[in-house]
Amino acid sequence: MLDITGYIWYNIQVMRTIIKKYSKIVYILSAIIVCVFLTITFTACSSAADEPDPSPSVEPSTPTPTPSTPTPTPVPLELVPWSGPVEHLFTHEVIAWPELAFNGRTRQGGFDAEFITANEFRAILQSLYDNNYILIDLNDVWSEFTNESDQLRMMRNTLMIPEGKKPLVISFDDMNFYAIDIPYGLMSKYIIGSDGQIWAEGFDPTGNYVVSQDLAAVTILDKFVRENPGFSHNGAKGCIALTGFEGILGYRTQNDPSDTSQAFRLNRMAETARVKPVVDRLKATGWYFASHSYGHIGIASASLARVQADGERWLDEVGSIVGDTKIFIYPFGQRLDGADQNVPGPALRFYAEELGFRLFASVGREPYTQIKDSIPAVIMDRMLVGGRTLRNSRERYLRFFDAADVFETAVRPDEYGTDWGNNDDNYGGDDD
């Protein structure tokens, strides 16, 4: 039988001899093993740290924009009642590239008369801010009430604004990005960037795709308010007046009864789905909408049947996307009142009593409002800000800005002249 105790003792002696003889080699091998182990562990940890967040994310459909300027914290001001007039200015989408608008083509005169450039708009905003104007929501100025005869009528609210400020409404007509307008230097649509903000996209004069917040009216005003929060009361921005015959905001959401193809139907559904988040974001950030009629029709000359069909179609195709609105902005500045402002015409009665509109804005030279006695409606005038008024009505607009300071002489055509006077004959009451 094997002597186990002796066997174990013998092997221990052998191991001691080996360790003593090769101790340096053992230590070196041990060190190498430890280093390899630490290297593998460190590499694994580093790789895990570099891996992206595994939570799902939506790929942005637009280039990642430059981070926006942080919003300064406004200084709280005492609110006081305002009983004076509420000024109302309007314009159209701004011209991003004047070299395309003012190059001698057929519609140059119209763009010069009715539009302003992006740089002019920025200068006007700065002047309005410097002159202590503050943006308000037109819907906050007026309210419905029921009179003693149980009839709906309109009344002006007690408007509370920061002390030292003057209320101002700005509206923008035809912000649809018509296909005929885009080649004259406009951007092509509003989108939502990967930062969740509104951006504008288009193509520059050389055909390069551009995404910017400096070349379209909405994004310029948004950016200005972010940098100057005291320019907006309760977050108000502006009123966007839309037609519907060529979609809205650059998206072709219009229906065409003559095209019953599946391709048209699917494209319209897709465009409607794309624009809804843009509309929602605009409304969440102080913008609100108005009807500009569906087909930009001449209200004064259209039959009552046409006015009715047009109004109902706007509600069906545009109102269904932008939501309820009580504001109607007259195409061409024409009123629905009829020959006598004190006697509402049938078209105005239809819009107020059947479609639910309450605030009706035309075009004039000074602030003007009238509350109708026989229907729930308020009529008012707006003042155009365009090349024609910049050139010819400087004195009339001095309380807002000095046209001589904001007018981009270097890019505007020379043939229309600039007298910097107050020539009402060239005022241009008709809205394009």
pLDDT in tens, 381-406: 999 999 999 999 999 999 999 999 99
The confidence band for 337, taking pLDDT boundaries of 50, 70 and 90, is low
> What is the predicted pLDDT for the residue at 345?
80
Tell me which of 20 and 112 has the higher pLDDT.
112
Over pLDDT 70: what percentage of the chain? 77
Return the amino acid letter for 59.
E
The pTM of this model reads 0.82
> What is the predicted pLDDT for the residue at 346?
86
Task: Write the DSSP string, 361-422.
Answer: EEE-SS--EEE-SSSS-EEEEEEE-SHHHHHHBTGGGTTT--HHHH--TTTS-STT----SB
CA distance linking residue 243 with residue 245, whole number of Å: 6
CA distance linking residue 286 with residue 272, whole number of Å: 21
Is residue 283 predicted with pLDDT exceeding 70? yes
Q: 168 by DSSP, 3-state: which? A: strand
> What is the predicted pLDDT for the residue at 334?
78
pLDDT tens-digit readout, 53-84: 333 333 334 455 555 555 556 566 799 999 99
Write down the H helix ranges in 51-105: 98-101
> What is the predicted pLDDT for the residue at 11?
46
State the DSSP H helix or E strand holding residue 290, giving kind and residue range, or none if neither. Answer: strand 288-291
Q: What is the mean pLDDT of the chain?
A: 85
Q: Tell me the sheet residues that pair with 95.
A: 117
Cα→Cα distances 31→15, 22, 24, 26, 38, Å: 20, 15, 11, 9, 11
> What is the predicted pLDDT for the residue at 76?
67
The confidence band for 85, taking pLDDT boundaries of 50, 70 and 90, is very high
